[in-house]
Structure 1
Amino acid sequence: MKKFMLFIGGLAALLILLANLGPMVLLALSVWLLYICFKKFISTDSTAAKIGWVIVGLIVLSISFSNIYAVLGVAAAYALYLIYKNWNTSESSVVHEIRDDDDPFTNFEKQWAELNK
């Protein structure tokens, strides 16, 4: 049942990722262009050039805000990674730690388990 649910979740995440692939590319491109605009803004000395780079940066920022829902595609890619990572783990891989301390309830459980052997 666990593998079936992982398969269904992976299929849904894959469809979301494929649907948002174009906006993800445009978002990455606009973030890269914003970085270039910022670097050019910092490196120039002219006031007119700084105003021009601010205007270009605001245009590119509006493009990046229009593709902000591409973050869903990034979340879907992360979900696919987690599903891939958990695909081969068994359900009984939980490790229980047995501590030797003076807690009476722990000692009772240990003695009860020894009596039932």
Structure 2
Amino acid sequence: MKKFGLFLAGGIAAIVLMSQLGPMVGLVISLAILYFAFKKFVKTDSTGSKVLWAVVGALALFASASNVPAILGVVAAYVLYVVIKNWKKDKQEKVVESSDPFTNFEKQWAELNK
């Protein structure tokens, strides 16, 4: 039943992630432009250049604000990561438990002593 829940949560997270890829790309691009505009704004000395980079930064800030639904995609990517991590953890626990020779030896020794 736990695997079914993980599968269902992973499927929903994958669908949400795929639907939010466009806004996520837009958010990354607009934040990159905002970062470079800020760096240029700080480095320049002339007033005209400062005004130009401030306008570019403001436009990039508005573009990033319009891509707020991309945060939903980031949350979906995290949920998908957690689901995959938990799915693999269940498999690893079973393999580690059955491949331990001392555990198997102790179980067989207890059966022989009965």
Supply the AA of the counterpart residue of 2:41: F
Alpha-carbon offset, residue 2 of structure 1? 0.3
Q: What are the ranges of 5 or more consecutive residues in structure 2 without an aligned counterpart?
A: 94-114
Task: Provide the rounded CA distance (Å) in 2 between the counterparts of 1:42 and 1:58.
Answer: 14
Q: Does residue 58 of structure 1 match 2:58? A: yes
Deviations 1:8-48, CA, capped at 9 Å, x for gaps? 00000000000000100010001100010001101110011
Indicate the structure with greater helix content.
2
- Figure out how many residues of one structure are paired with residues of the other and give that number: 91
Pairing of 1:9-88 with structure 2 (within 5 A): 9-88=9-88
Q: TM-score, normalised by structure 2?
A: 0.77
Supply the AA of the counterpart residue of 1:48: G
Alpha-carbon offset, residue 88 of structure 1? 3.4
Alpha-carbon offset, residue 50 of structure 1? 0.3
Identical-residue share of aligned pairs (%): 51
Alpha-carbon offset, residue 68 of structure 1? 1.1
Task: Provide the rounded CA distance (Å) in 2 between the counterparts of 1:15 and 1:54.
Answer: 37
Equivalent residue, structure 2, for 1:107: none
Task: Provide the rounded CA distance (Å) in 2 between the counterparts of 1:88 and 1:67.
Answer: 33
Q: What are the ranges of 5 or more consecutive residues in structure 1 without an aligned counterpart?
A: 94-117
Alpha-carbon offset, residue 69 of structure 1? 1.3
Supply the AA of the counterpart residue of 1:59: L
Supply the AA of the counterpart residue of 2:7: F
Supply the AA of the counterpart residue of 1:20: Q
